A and B are shown apart, each in its own frame.
Chain A
Amino acid sequence: MDVVIANLPLYLQGFSVTLLLLAVGGVGALVLGTLIAAMRISPIATLRVIATVYTEIIRNTPLTLVVIFCAIILPILGSDLSFLVSGMIALAVYTSPFIAEALRSGINGVPVGQAEAARSLGLGFGLTVSMIVLPQAFRMTIPPLINVFIALTKNTSVVGGVGFVSELFGVGRTLANANGDAVIAILVGIAFFYLIVTVPLGLLATQLERKWVVQR
């Protein structure tokens, strides 16, 4: 326990990097994921194909490989980003298909009649989606989205594991290497910081989802 207290500044520093990865990676994933979801329902065939191929590839690739790609191969392509940013990109890319999936399941929850009614009033594709379907889907999308963010929180550890970014897990590994006699305390400390993000989010998701299921 003493080790944790003595290294609390390091822990907090790592935790703040984790939160930063989570926040920026999450927003990036939200933007990319929405784009993918939109492409998947668009009337243009090529867009649908691209979105599907992208989803299939990313969802079947381990995050570790994506992180290594962003950290080592992107620079060869001329990117001049810091490793923190490339970590965020990796997380955003990896998470985006899951966001798209969450959105899709939300959109699927909107009764078809809603869209039919909108169309019968003469609204076009854009208006139907943006004014009728999405606002209703949004509420139902919240619990699955929270679910995605929980996974994202845990996935930030992979970025630190591969390295270049000293987030919570990286800090834990460094401390565990340096203090062979207090490994349990150090790792429990690290676990605690992850759990204070993931457990409340998990409870919230189940709560909201439950409410939504009852309403339906």
Chain B
Amino acid sequence: MTRMRIALVAAAAAATLAFAGCASGGGGEAEESAEPAPTFEAGTTMAALQEAGEITIGTKFDQPLFGLVGPSGDPEGFDVEIGKIIASELGIDEENINWTETVSANREPFIEGGQVDLVVATYTINDKRKEVVSFAGPYYEAGQSILVLADNDDIKSEEDLVGQPVCSVTGSTPAANLKELGAEVLETDTYSNCLEPLRQGDVVAVSTDNVILAGLVAQNEGEFKVVGEPFTEEPYGIGVKLDDTDFRMFINDVLEEAYEDGRYEEAWNSTAGTVLPFADPPAVDRY
């Protein structure tokens, strides 16, 4: 690792010299091809990635609208688009992005162990996670919401879930929130496993981030609906190695640029925007 880093630093330094004088990356151009190669300070993660010419991004593979792999094998969704924007700012083409599936259990270990360079995977920023990884963003503000059968009029808000059986995913933040709320939580491996118990009446609702629920509603036309207002705030962040402040700040810059120049909105509209309304992006948190 160390040896590799030294080599990369040296190479990156050379690259920096070669490109001295060029304008630094981004600058508002939407077309990647016309963009001059950005330069980064030697020794930073950005320089190393740019030099390597490829990046490994962790995302979900089974999350409609955000990160989903279909039979084509390429992941698609809003998280994936955000990942592509970051990669392009590093001068890395789409085809040089290695997508790796991260599930809830392996996001932190993968960042810590260096299996991925960054994680964009409907990844809620919270204090406990901040102890092990650093977060850029947030780039989207989700909120926990409630999914019920379309003909259910008994449940209108989270207060109606108290003491009721509700399905969510094992060990997830929504599951913990539900327990705190006083609901009887049924935990399973994936959200799609929750739908059959909901049909059968084993649970009265499925509860997790509104954007995930929106995906489930869209895929099962007319059968389910989302009720009430989101009752938690789930700011989605981009996970990077703990204390890699340069990289975190770089991603924050990229996000702000993308907010400005419309790439963010474009990314949204082509993915999650087909089902969900566009919301103004949250301000990034440069902690």
Which residues of B, 126-140, contact A by the 8 Å Cβ criterion?
Answer: 128-129, 131-132
Q: How far is the CA of A70 from the CA of B172 in the complex (A)?
A: 24
1/0 per residue, CB under 8 A from B, across A144-180: the answer is 0000000000000000011110100010011111111
| Contacting pair A163 B188 (CB below 8 A) | yes
Most buried by B among A161, A175, A180: A180
Across the interface, A170 reaches (CB within 8 A) one of B108, B129, B170, namely: B170
A-B contacts, 6 of them at CB < 8 A, read A68-B193, A75-B202, A164-B187, A164-B193, A174-B170, A181-B131
Q: From B108, which residue of chain A is reached at the shortest CB distance? A: A180
Hey, which chain A residues are within 8 Å of B197, CB to CB? 75, 83, 164
Hey, which chain A residues are within 8 Å of B186, CB to CB? 83, 164
- Please tell me if A76 contacts chain B, counting CB pairs below 8 Å: yes
| Contacting pair B104 A177 (CB below 8 A) | yes
1/0 per residue, CB under 8 A from A, across B197-230: the answer is 1001010000000000000000000000000000
Q: From A81, which residue of chain B is reached at the shortest CB distance? A: B202
Q: How far is the CA of A181 from the CA of B109 in the complex (A)?
A: 10
Q: From B187, which residue of chain A is reached at the shortest CB distance? A: A163
| Contacting pair A75 B196 (CB below 8 A) | yes
1/0 per residue, CB under 8 A from B, across A81-97: the answer is 00100000000000000
- Please tell me if B176 contacts chain A, counting CB pairs below 8 Å: yes
- Please tell me if B171 contacts chain A, counting CB pairs below 8 Å: yes
Report the interface size for chain A: residues with CB under 8 A from the other chain: 22
Query: Which secondary structure dominates where chain A touches chain B?
Result: helix
With known contacts A75-B202, A180-B132, A173–B196 Cβ distance under 8 A: no
1/0 per residue, CB under 8 A from A, across B10-48: the answer is 000000000000000000000000000000000000000
Q: How far is the CA of A140 from the CA of B58 in the complex (A)?
A: 53
Hey, which chain B residues are within 8 Å of A177, CB to CB? 104-105, 170-172
- Please tell me if B233 contacts chain A, counting CB pairs below 8 Å: no
| Contacting pair A72 B172 (CB below 8 A) | no
How far, in Å, is B204 (CB) from chain A's closest CB?
15
Across the interface, A72 reaches (CB within 8 A) one of B108, B109, B131, B193, namely: B193
Q: How far is the CA of A168 from the CA of B28 in the complex (A)?
A: 52
With known contacts A72-B196, A163-B189, A83–B171 Cβ distance under 8 A: no
Hey, which chain B residues are within 8 Å of A76, CB to CB? 196, 200
Q: From A175, which residue of chain B is reached at the shortest CB distance? A: B171
Hey, which chain B residues are within 8 Å of A181, CB to CB? 131-132
Across the interface, A178 reaches (CB within 8 A) one of B128, B189, B193, namely: B128
The 4 closest A-B pairs by CB, nearest first: A163-B188, A177-B171, A174-B171, A75-B200
Hey, which chain A residues are within 8 Å of B189, CB to CB? 161-163
Hey, which chain A residues are within 8 Å of B202, CB to CB? 75, 83
Q: How far is the CA of A177 from the CA of B200 in the complex (A)?
A: 29
Which residues of A, 49-85, contact B by the 8 Å Cβ criterion?
Answer: 68, 71-72, 75-76, 83
Q: From A161, which residue of chain B is reached at the shortest CB distance? A: B189
How far, in Å, is B91 (CB) from chain A's closest CB?
32
Hey, which chain B residues are within 8 Å of A178, CB to CB? 128, 171, 176
Q: From B175, which residue of chain A is reached at the shortest CB distance? A: A174
Q: How far is the CA of A2 from the CA of B174 in the complex (A)?
A: 25
Most buried by B among A83, A166, A176, A177: A177
Which residues of B, 163-196, contact A by the 8 Å Cβ criterion?
Answer: 170-172, 175-176, 186-189, 193, 196
Q: From A78, which residue of chain B is reached at the shortest CB distance? A: B200
Hey, which chain B residues are within 8 Å of A164, CB to CB? 186-188, 193, 197
Q: How far is the CA of A162 from the CA of B190 in the complex (A)?
A: 9
Q: How far is the CA of A176 from the CA of B186 in the complex (A)?
A: 18
Across the interface, A163 reaches (CB within 8 A) one of B128, B170, B200, namely: B170
Hey, which chain A residues are within 8 Å of B129, CB to CB? 180
Hey, which chain A residues are within 8 Å of B175, CB to CB? 174
Q: From B176, which residue of chain A is reached at the shortest CB distance? A: A178
Q: How far is the CA of A161 from the CA of B105 in the complex (A)?
A: 12
How far, in Å, is A168 (CB) from chain B's closest CB?
13
Hey, which chain A residues are within 8 Å of B170, CB to CB? 163, 170, 173-174, 177
